[in-house]
Amino acid sequence: MRLDVVTIFPEYLEPLNVSLVGKARTRGLLDVGVHDLRDWTHDRHNTVDDTPYGGGPGMVMKTEPWGEALDEVLADGYEAGAGAPALVVPTPSGRPFTQELAVELSSRPWLVFTPARYEGIDRRVIDEYATRMPVYEVSIGDYVLAGGEAAVLVITEAVARLLPGVLGNAESHRDDSFAPGAMANLLEGPVHTKPPVWRGRGIPEVLLSGHHGKIARWRRDEALRRTTAHRPDLIERTAPEAFDKKDREM
Ligand code: SAM
């Protein structure tokens, strides 16, 4: 998969060199390009913003540097055979970023991110590229950040860990919160490791039983309990037939 990020703070994306994403890059599973938007400005001050039409506070990111940057980044990717691109526009007014969307994005060969600053990017830029490729306007939560770079890091990490070969154990996201299958729409319950007793606290007996059926049931019960406590909306959104008899007894 190829990822391109156009930003006025390329250094903000340095975490893409470490941990899971960094390793995926070194192993050739992910090709990441971070580009400084100011490279496509032509004035002495490398201006990327201007006052908003219609008045109001704040500044708006200008069309021209974004247009030139995206044209060049896209041309490079096409030349390198990156496949069909999709534009990912972080914005608090976008659709919520969910595991389902992470799965969808992970199936695309090439994502181009446009993290903004100030009051965002002149709308015409997004409308222009929407005529050429799918555009995902994505919000990582109901709050407003100063810029979209942190959102790019969040989205990239969620997407990268779904790519084949990135996680050491391909099974490890099977039981994650929100994973499709038996635990769909449920948050993951508590997890434990050695030692068996820590500061007088043991671990649930069932986890030592070696009985796979009982362990699976305990995990599902804990997931249901946790989801009911923290995210009752997920339970409400789940079709009644997704719950078995034991679920309903809880
Ligand atoms: N005036 C904009 C609004 O209320 O929708 C907020 C602009 S915000 C200060 C600047 C940039 O940060 C946004 O254009 C976007 O790139 C990014 N951003 C802020 N909050 C975000 C969120 N919750 N999800 C994704 N991106 C976000």
Residue 199 covered by a domain: yes
Residue 168 covered by a domain: no
Q: Which atom of ligand 1 is nearest to the CA of 144?
A: 20
> Do residue 92 and residue 190 come from a single domain?
no
Is the ipTM here above 0.85? yes
Total domains in the chain come to 2
* Whether the CB of 89 sits within 6 Å of ligand 1: no
> Do residue 155 and residue 183 come from a single domain?
no
- In the numeric block, the tokens 């060199």 are attached to 17
* Whether the CB of 8 sits within 6 Å of ligand 1: no
**Chosen domain end from 116, 137, 160:** 160
* Whether the CB of 197 sits within 6 Å of ligand 1: no
Residue 166 covered by a domain: no
Residue 218 covered by a domain: yes
Residue 76 covered by a domain: yes
What's the rounded Cα separation, in Å, for the pair 236 and 68?
Answer: 46
The model's pTM is: 0.94
**Chosen domain end from 133, 160, 187:** 160
What is the gyration radius of the CA atoms in the chain, in angstroms? 22
Point out the catalytic residue in the list 72, 128, 176, 247.
176
**Chosen domain end from 160, 195, 215:** 160
Cα-based angle 7, 13, 15 (whole degrees, multiple of 5): 175
Residue 206 covered by a domain: yes
The domain spanning residue 107 has which CATH number?
3.40.1280.10
Check residue 14 and give its pLDDT: 98
Check residue 177 and give its pLDDT: 81
> Do residue 47 and residue 145 come from a single domain?
yes
Cβ contact 186:229 at 8 Å: no
> Do residue 87 and residue 195 come from a single domain?
no
What's the longest Cα–Cα distance across the chain? 70
Residue 30 covered by a domain: yes
Looking at the chain, how many residues does it have? 250
Q: How far is CA 96 from the centre of its chain?
A: 10
Check residue 182 and give its pLDDT: 65
> Do residue 34 and residue 93 come from a single domain?
yes
The domain spanning residue 230 has which CATH number?
1.10.1270.20
Q: State the number of CA atoms in the 13 A half-sphere of 104 facing the CB.
A: 11
Q: In angstroms, what is the span from residue 220 Cα to ligand 1's centroid?
A: 36
Point out the catalytic residue in the list 38, 92, 128, 188.
92
Q: State the number of CA atoms in the 13 A half-sphere of 177 facing the CB.
A: 16
To the question of whether residue 142 is assigned a binding role by annotation, the answer is yes
Q: How far is CA 195 from the centre of its chain?
A: 34
Point out the catalytic residue in the list 161, 217, 225, 231.
161
Q: Which stretch of DSSP H or E encloses residue 65? A: helix 63-79
> Do residue 111 and residue 156 come from a single domain?
yes
> Do residue 139 and residue 72 come from a single domain?
yes
What's the rounded Cα separation, in Å, for the pair 173 and 248?
Answer: 26
> Do residue 179 and residue 156 come from a single domain?
no
To the question of whether residue 88 is assigned a binding role by annotation, the answer is no
> Do residue 65 and residue 182 come from a single domain?
no
Q: Which atom of ligand 1 is nearest to the CA of 147?
A: 12
Domain enclosing residue 203, as ranges: 174-249
pLDDT tens for the chain, residues 1 to 250: 999 999 999 999 999 999 999 999 999 999 999 999 999 999 999 999 999 999 999 999 999 999 999 999 999 999 999 999 999 999 999 999 999 999 999 999 999 999 999 999 999 999 999 999 999 999 999 999 999 999 999 999 999 999 999 987 777 777 788 877 767 789 999 999 999 999 999 999 999 999 999 999 999 999 999 999 999 999 998 888 888 888 888 7
Look up residue 80 and give its two tokens: 């390198």
> Do residue 24 and residue 80 come from a single domain?
yes
